[in-house]
């Protein structure tokens, strides 16, 4: 009798557990056994790249393929425009848009997955190691400030050695020379001693003169190292000076791609700029010296420049709000949570970092 009651109790428990298990598996089962998902894409290298044969590749495409494989779902790509992404998602014509730009305005209309990449804004510029850039740097305030400080130092040392040597070393510092001429001789001696050239045309002969010379040689070694680094930085680094936005942009011939975040930013800041429909075309304008810079996302700039050996340009990040990319979905989409879980699993793998390095070179 007791065995019958026990079996009946177990049967009741199984009856309650079955619906609970089925309820917990509903979303996953529907996606695995349901219809083929429609995934919206739009060419935007290096995230979404359209091949000549109509195939799709890029960072976002490869990430989605890994996510879909993890979720065990089928899908097909449909090309749409970024402007229509919200509309087609709301009308359920598309299930997912791969390159959703996460903004406050967009978040009010659609849902987003976890952010999978952050694109910093940058400026593409011509390489700075050319003669004109170096020549311009010689007229920078920093260069002349360093030169003036060095001259003052040499003048001080030269004056000291003149007054110490002038009476006993008439051939080099005293004699018929005026005070100005004597100090000039000391200035010359301090300069050639500091640079270790040492012509030998002038040299101290007194005890205190030689003692000062020895101390000056030791000090000059450190001074030379510091000043050399400062002068090289002033000459070679002035052209590579970080761009201050939006101030520096107003003094540059600059361009942006139509509809880009850079174009929106410059309109808001009332910066005069040219618009191009194609990023490569705008970069070629820099090469032809028709532009000073192109403002765009760093990943897109680096990918485009590295893909074209004729574009010898550098990319410099600028302090503008970055762009955040995520998968865009319809509001309250049942796909959001499963996609987020799969997304977290995929981006933790070394393969994801390899894909980023492949499409986005570290430096340009």
- Would the CATH topology of 35-119+323-359 be identical to that of 141-237? no
Q: pLDDT tens digits, residue range 209-257?
A: 889 888 988 888 888 888 777 766 666 555 555 788 889 899 899 999 9
Q: Say what percent of the chain tops pLDDT 70.
A: 82
Cβ atoms of 150 and 227 within 8 Å: the answer is yes
**CA dihedral sign, ordered 272, 274, 278, 280:** negative
Q: pLDDT tens digits, residue range 301-344?
A: 999 999 988 888 999 999 888 999 999 999 999 999 999 999 99
Domain borders along the chain are 35-119+323-359, 124-128+241-317, 141-237
pLDDT at residue 27 tops 90: no
H or E element that contains 79: strand 75-79
Average pLDDT, the chain: 83
Average pLDDT over residues 21-29: 39
pLDDT at 82: 86
- Could you tell me the pTM of the whole model? 0.63
**CATH class in words for 124-128+241-317:** alpha beta
Please report which confidence band the pLDDT of residue 7 belongs to, taking 50, 70 and 90 as the band edges.
very low
Q: pLDDT tens digits, residue range 249-296?
A: 998 999 999 888 899 899 999 999 999 999 999 999 999 989 999 999
Architecture of domain 35-119+323-359: 3-Layer(aba) Sandwich (3.40)
Q: Tell me the β-bridge partners of 295.
A: 123
Q: Is 224 exposed, middle or buried (0-12, 13-18, 19+ CB in 10 A)?
A: middle
**CATH class in words for 141-237:** mainly alpha
pLDDT at residue 10 tops 50: no
């Amino acid at each position: 009798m007791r065995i019958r009651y026990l079996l009946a109790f177990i049967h009741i428990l199984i009856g309650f557990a079955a619906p609970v298990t089925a309820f917990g598996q509903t979303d996953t089962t529907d996606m695995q056994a349901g219809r083929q998902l429609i995934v919206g894409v739009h060419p935007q290298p290096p995230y979404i790249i359209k091949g000549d044969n109509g195939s799709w590749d890029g960072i976002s495409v490869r990430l989605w393929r890994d996510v879909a494989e993890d979720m065990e779902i089928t899908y097909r790509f449909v090309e749409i425009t970024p402007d229509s992404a919200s509309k087609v998602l709301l009308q359920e014509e598309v299930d997912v848009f791969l390159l959703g730009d996460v903004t406050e305005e967009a978040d009010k209309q659609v849902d987003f997955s976890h952010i999978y990449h952050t694109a910093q804004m940058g400026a593409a510029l011509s390489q700075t190691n050319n003669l004109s850039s170096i020549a311009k740097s010689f007229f920078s305030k920093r260069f002349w400030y360093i030169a003036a400080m060095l001259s003052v130092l040499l003048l001080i040392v030269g004056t000291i050695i003149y007054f110490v040597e002038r009476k006993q070393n008439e051939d080099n510092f005293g004699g018929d020379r005026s005070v100005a001429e004597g100090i000039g001789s000391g200035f010359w001696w301090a300069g050639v001693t500091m640079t270790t050239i040492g012509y030998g045309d002038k040299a101290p002969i007194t005890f205190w003169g030689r003692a000062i010379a020895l101390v000056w040689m030791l000090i000059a070694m450190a001074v030379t190292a510091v000043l050399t680094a400062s002068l090289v930085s002033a000459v070679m680094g002035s052209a590579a000076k970080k761009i201050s936005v939006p101030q520096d942009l107003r003094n540059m011939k600059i361009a942006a791609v139509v509809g880009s975040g850079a174009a929106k930013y410059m309109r808001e800041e009332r910066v005069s700029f040219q618009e191009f429909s194609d990023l490569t075309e705008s970069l070629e304008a820099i090469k032809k010296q028709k532009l000073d810079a192109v403002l765009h996302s760093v990943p897109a700039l680096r990918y485009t420049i590295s893909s074209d050996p004729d574009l010898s340009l550098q990319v410099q990040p600028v302090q503008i709000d970055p762009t955040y990319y995520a998968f865009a979905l319809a509001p309250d989409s049942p796909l959001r949570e499963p996609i987020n879980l799969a997304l977290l699993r995929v981006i933790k793998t070394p393969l994801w970092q390899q894909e980023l390095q492949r499409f986005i070179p570290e430096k340009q």
